[in-house]
Structure 1
C-alpha cells in the first residue's frame, strides 16, 4: 500500500540553459488586509441534494490550477573526464552543462481578495516559477508567501490579482460529521477543473506517515494526481479541507483520500502571513497512548482515554507545570485528549508561551495543572524556497537541525557530542531512507569533515558527484553510512 501525494509532474533534459535566472518569490510581510471570508448562507442544500450543482459551480470558480517550473543541474558523470570517453565527445570546453527542467501541476484555493491562495507545500516545493490559472482560463504569476512542510501547507499570492476573484469561504472542519456529503474540486491529471462527490469517511486520521503533524479528514470522494491543494467542500459551499494524498496499491484512486482540515490549515496560513514562519508550542514530555492493558495496570476507569507520561524532560515546560512520570493527561484546556497525536497537535497549535491548563490522573486522583508552553526550537517553517545549498538536504530526503544544547539534552548526548546535525525527518523512499538513515540519527561528519549546520551538509551534497560518506551517531554507537545521489 502506497501513500501518494496528488501532484502531476514531468521533467525534460535541456542543454545550455545558462540564461535562466531564478527569481525570488519570498514575501514575508504581514498582510493585515486578509480577512476571513463571510460564509455565503445562500449556498445550502436540501436533503435531496438538489442544491449541489449551485455549490459545485461556485466552488469551481474559487479553485485554481498551479503550474510550477524549476531547473536543476545534472551532476557530471565521472567517466566523462576519462580520455577514452572524451574521444567520443565534443572537444573539452564545448560541452554545455545538462540541466533538467522539472514541471508540476497541482491545485489551490483562493481564500482572500488580494489573491491569497492555499495549497500544499509539495505542490510548490522548490519552484522557481509559479503560474496560476483561474477557472476562466486567465493566468497570473504568483509569489510564494510561506510554506510549512510539517503540515504540507503552503500559501502563495497572485502578483497582480484581478478585482473579480471568487473566494471560497473557510468552514468549520471540526463540525464535520461522519457520512456528511462533501465535494472534491481540483485539476486531476491536468485535464482541467473537476468535481467529484463522496462522504466524510473518518476524521482525525493520524500516523498515516505523510507529514509530521497529521489530523486528516478521510474521504471517498474521487481524487487523483493533480488534485493536490484542491478543495474539499461541504454542503454549505465552504472550504473544509485541502486535498493532499491518497492511499493506493495501484497509484490511482481507490476510495481512500486525505485532506488537511481547515482548522489546521487556517492556523498555519495565519502564522505564515503574519510572521513568515510557524512557531509551535513545546511541552517536553515522552508520552504514549493508553491501551486496555495500561488502563487495567494503572487501575483507571474502564474505557478511559488519555496519554501516559513516560518521561519528563529536565528544565522543560512540563517540569515547570508539575507533570510527573506516570501521569495520565486526559484533557488540555478543557478539551479531551485521546491520543498522542491529538495532544501533540494541540500543544503545537497552542504556540510558544501559551498558558495551558491540563487535567491529569495521578495515583487515582484527578489534578489540574497550569503553566506556559515553550518554543519548539527545531520547528520553524521556512518562509521562502531558495534554490541554494539549503535545499539540498530536502532533495536527499532529509530534514535536518543543528545540534544545540537543548536538543542534545533531549537526545541524551549532552557533554558527549558538541557538534553535528540531527535527522528530524526522513522522506519515505528517498535516498536517505534507502541508505537506512532514521529520525534521531546525528550526522557528525560528511566526507570526513565535521559538520554542525544543515547548510554545510547541503554544500557537501551539492558538491558530491555520486555519494556522501557520513559518520553517524546512533544510540550509544557510531557507524558509517554511504548516501548515494540519485
Structure 2
C-alpha cells in the first residue's frame, strides 16, 4: 500500500523560501481558439515563446571514494601502500537543463531533478548574452517540480494554459536545450494523457511524440497558441535519445505546486484519510459495479476527515467535487491538488445505492495519508474451494505480539496457508487477519469457519488486515496469478 498523497538528467536542494504574496502570473484558461489551429508555419508561435525558455546550468560537489576502495581512507593503509594524502576526494559535477520564465519578476519553473543537490545554479537567456545567478525557492520531488528565482525585472513571462483542456491529438511544441546544442524546437502531438508509472508519488503525465532529449528536462511544452501546457521531464529510451515517448508534467499540476512553494514555502496537499485500491474486474463483479472506474475504499483512518464525513470500507468513490474518479491514482491526485480545509462533495456507491457526502479535507501528513492497496495477483488452479488450505486462529495477546497486530484489529488470524492453495497463490499469507468474508463481519476463528461454510461458489471476497492497513482480496479457485 502506498500512503495518500527521474529518471532523467539533473539534480535539487530543498530550500523553502516564504513569500508574502504570489507574483502576478499571466493565465489564460479558455479553450484553444480555432484561429490558433495548425497552419503551414509555427514561426509566430516560436517567436512568441522562445524568449521565455531558458538554459539552466547547475553545479554540485560530489564526494567520491578512491578507486582502491574504502579501506584506503585509513591514513595507516595509505602510508603502508605509499598513496599520497593530497589526491582529490571531491569533484565538481555539472548538469544542463531547461526552465520556463513564468513571471516578469524572475520566477522560473523547471524539473526538480535538474537542480537537485545543486550548490550553484545559473540561468542563461536565449539571447546568448544575459546570464543570472539563481536561488531555489522550493522543490517537490514527489511531482518532480522545482521553482527557482533570478533577480530581474521585465522578463518575457510565458502564458499558462489549462492543461485539463488539452486533447489527445492536439499539436504541441517542445522547447529546450537538448545535449547542450542550444535552444531547439520540436513538434509532435499529444499521444496520451494521465500517464503514470515513472516512480513519482503524484503522476499525471502528458505523453507526446515531440522529440525530447537530454537537456530538454524542465523546458516548455506549449500548444499552438504559444501557451504553456506542460514541463518536459522524462523519456522512455534504450539509447538515451528520443524514441518518440516523452512525458511532461501538466501545467495545472506544476502551477499548483509552484503556487504552494511560493506562498507557503512548502507543498500542502489535501488529506482525505482513506486507504483505497484499484477496482479489478473481479472486484467489480463482487460489488455489482458496471465497470472498473472509481476507487474502492479498503479502510478509513481513525479520526480522519473521511471518518468524520461517514465514509466506510466497501464504499466506491465515483466523483470528487463534481469530477469523475477514473481510478484510485486519479482520486489520490485530485485530493492532493486540493488545498487543505476545502470542503468537497463525494459521490459514492454503497451497497448498490448512490449517495453524496461532504468532506472537509485535512492537510496531508508528511508521509502521506491517502493510500492505495496492492492488487492481489491471481492464478488458475484445479481447486473448487477458494479457502481450501487456509488455517485460522483467534487473535490472542501472544499472536498479536508475534505478528505486530494492534489491539483495535478484530478478526480471524491466518496462521497457515498451503503454498499450493488458491488463497496463497492469490495473496493471502500467515499474519493476515480476515475481517470480512463475502462482506460479512467476522471477529474470531469460529465465525470465520462458519462463514466459510456458507460459500457455495468458487469465488470469495475477503477483507483482510495486512501490513498496517486493510484491503479487499478476491480469491477465485479457478484462477491463478
In 1, distance between residues paired with 2:22 and 2:311?
Answer: 41
**Structure-1 residue corresponding to 2:143:** 151
1:338 maps to which of 326, 334, 338: 326
Superimposed CA distance per residue, residues 12-50 of structure 1 (whole angstroms, 9 cap, x where no aligned partner): xxxxxxxxxxxx994613153611215599998565523
Change (3 A) 1:288 1:190: same
How far 1:58 moved relative to its partner?
Answer: 1.8
**Structure-1 residue corresponding to 2:298:** 310
Preserved CA contact (<8 Å) 2:29 2:161: no
In 2, distance between residues paired with 1:253 and 1:337?
Answer: 33
Superimposed CA distance per residue, residues 87-136 of structure 1 (whole angstroms, 9 cap, x where no aligned partner): 45366xx5355211111000000010001100011000011100000000
2:241 maps to which of 252, 258, 272: 252
How far 1:51 moved relative to its partner?
Answer: 4.7
Change (3 A) 1:315 1:43: closer
Change (3 A) 1:282 1:50: same
1:122 maps to which of 113, 122, 129: 113
Which one has a bigger Cα radius of gyration? 2
Q: Are residue 272 (structure 1) and residue 235 (structure 2) matched?
A: no
Change (3 A) 1:330 1:100: same
Q: Are residue 95 (structure 1) and residue 95 (structure 2) matched?
A: no
- In the superposition, the TM-score normalised over structure 2's length comes to 0.70
* Number of equivalenced pairs: 366
Instruction: Please give the secondary structure, in 1, of the residue aligned with 2:26.
Output: coil
Preserved CA contact (<8 Å) 1:151 1:213: yes
How far 1:283 moved relative to its partner?
Answer: 1.4
Preserved CA contact (<8 Å) 2:36 2:224: no
Q: Are residue 79 (structure 1) and residue 72 (structure 2) matched?
A: yes
In 2, distance between residues paired with 1:267 and 1:148?
Answer: 11
2:131 maps to which of 121, 135, 139: 139
**Structure-2 residue corresponding to 1:457:** none
**Structure-1 residue corresponding to 2:382:** none
How far 1:370 moved relative to its partner?
Answer: 1.0
Preserved CA contact (<8 Å) 2:14 2:138: no
Preserved CA contact (<8 Å) 2:22 2:259: no
In 2, distance between residues paired with 1:121 and 1:84?
Answer: 41
Paired residues for 1:83-232 under 5 Å: 83=76, 85-89=78-82, 95=86, 97-137=88-128, 138-158=130-150, 160-163=151-154, 165-206=155-196, 208-232=197-221
Preserved CA contact (<8 Å) 1:329 1:337: yes
Change (3 A) 1:220 1:31: farther
RMSD: 2.8
Paired residues for 1:409-428 under 5 Å: none
**Structure-1 residue corresponding to 2:278:** 289
Instruction: Please give the secondary structure, in 1, of the residue aligned with 2:257.
Output: helix
Superimposed CA distance per residue, residues 158-183 of structure 1 (whole angstroms, 9 cap, x where no aligned partner): 1x3153x2111001101111100000
In 1, distance between residues paired with 2:367 and 2:127?
Answer: 39
In 1, distance between residues paired with 2:191 and 2:311?
Answer: 36
Preserved CA contact (<8 Å) 1:243 1:258: yes
Q: Which runs of 5+ in 1 are unaligned?
A: 10-23, 381-410, 416-473, 477-486
Preserved CA contact (<8 Å) 1:145 1:272: yes
